Copies of this chain bind each other. A is one copy, B any other.
Amino acid sequence: MEPRNFTLKEITKLVEGELEGDAAVIISGVSGIKEAKEGDLTFLANSKYEFLLDSSKASAVLASKQMRKRVLKPVIRVENPSLAFSKVIAFMFPQEKKFAEGIHPAAVLGKDVKLGKGVCIGPHVVVEDNVEIGDKAVICAGVFIGCGARIGPDTLIYPNVTIREKTVIGGRVIIHSGTVIGSDGFGFEVVNGVHHKIPQVGIVVIEDDVEIGACVTIDRARFGKTVIGCGTKIDNLVQIAHNVVIGENSIIVAQAGISGSSVLGKNVILAGQSGIVGHIELGDNVIVGAQAGVTKSVPKNTFVVGSPAKPHNESKKIFAGWAKLPELLKSVAELREKVEQLTQERVKGGKAKDNKK
């Protein structure tokens, strides 16, 4: 937590930015605009927080080349301030956590386990028979890896993860604690009111560069495979059912759930607590809003919201309509009365005319 100090000159060079201000200023930490104290570098990614810069105690700020606001403190201008900030963090806080190479004596390994170079296996890990683990993979304490599973190189599995038999995990994957990969799919046949288990003999395939949060559950396929595509990132407490296929570079936010056999395209975003029914398809670049409930397939490039989910512009009108409902009910009651009056007067008018005759 205690980074060494850097000058603004050094930091400007690191992020390939343009400095406005004193290159000799010393930066000793990083922080958000509000929380920053003297010596901290902060960043501005969203212009709505510009007004906070004046009162911020930060000693310098990373900002967009487009920012127009005049700032009294030194500014390093870059294309993408948030990305540049991450670079600074990675630089100032080099991976302190060292995973000791080798197999901890309190780990238990089965037969015919193939370990790459520089693998780290922590205490109380269980690696069953015929498992393959790639170079420089890190398997932390208490992880279970079942028979015949394969773990790619540079993959990092945090403590207390469970990887069931035959699961295939790519390279540079990160899996957070408490997560379970390859549990049985939820499938039963009802015969006379009793649920009979359907064997789940498929596997789970996690492709390269995937990150999976804590306490996520990804079920193995009934047969064939459940697939998480290359570069996809999954947040905490997400449920992914058997035979689901997720394309590349998708984002699945916390507590979302995807039911069996649904297929998601590339660059799909599921916001938090959203749910997808089984056996449907979401095209590339689909965005599903928070708490949305998707009940049928969604064509590519569509943003759906609400439960049941509809295209964003439709749901927006519906939500606006809800707010007007109480007033609408009153309006209609009034209208009914007026129309009733008009109708009665017409009848009376008619009768009056009749009387005149």
A residues adjacent to B (C-beta < 8 A): 1, 30-32, 35, 80, 82-83, 86, 89-90, 93, 97, 104, 106, 108, 122-124, 126, 140-142, 144, 146-147, 158-160, 162, 164-166, 174, 176-180, 183-184, 186, 188-189, 191, 193-199, 201, 203, 211, 213-215, 217, 219, 222-224, 231, 233, 235-237, 239, 241, 243, 249, 251, 253-255, 257, 259, 267, 272-273, 275, 277, 290-291, 293, 307-308, 310, 314, 317-326, 328-329, 331-332, 335-336, 338-339, 342-343, 345-346
- In the complex, the chain B residue whose C-beta lies closest to that of A186 is B235
- In the complex, the chain B residue whose C-beta lies closest to that of A3 is B201
**Complex contacts, A203 vs chain B, CB 8 Å:** 1
Q: Which of B140, B160, B194, B290 touches A231 (beta carbons < 8 Å)?
A: B194
Known: A106-B108, A176-B184. 16 other contacts (CB 8 A): A83-B196, A89-B222, A104-B108, A124-B124, A140-B144, A180-B214, A195-B249, A213-B217, A215-B215, A217-B236, A255-B255, A255-B257, A257-B272, A275-B291, A317-B325, A318-B322
- Tell me the number of copies of this protein: 3
Q: How far is the CA of A70 from the CA of B146 in the complex (A)?
A: 44
A176, B183: Cβ atoms closer than 8 Å = yes
- In the complex, the chain B residue whose C-beta lies closest to that of A93 is B201
Query: Given known contacts A191-B80, A255-B239, is B126 in contact with A144 (CB within 8 Å)?
Result: no
A223, B290: Cβ atoms closer than 8 Å = no
**Interchain nearest-CB distance for A197 vs B (Å):** 7
Residue pairs across A and B with Cβ atoms less than 8 A apart, 28 shown, are A89-B201, A89-B222, A108-B124, A144-B159, A174-B184, A176-B180, A176-B183, A176-B184, A178-B178, A183-B236, A186-B253, A186-B254, A193-B267, A194-B249, A195-B231, A195-B251, A214-B217, A214-B219, A215-B215, A237-B257, A273-B273, A273-B275, A290-B293, A314-B326, A317-B325, A331-B332, A339-B342, A342-B346
A197, B211: Cβ atoms closer than 8 Å = yes
A32, B223: Cβ atoms closer than 8 Å = yes
A178, B176: Cβ atoms closer than 8 Å = no
Q: Which of B126, B178, B184 touches A180 (beta carbons < 8 Å)?
A: B178
Q: How far is the CA of A275 from the CA of B292 in the complex (A)?
A: 12
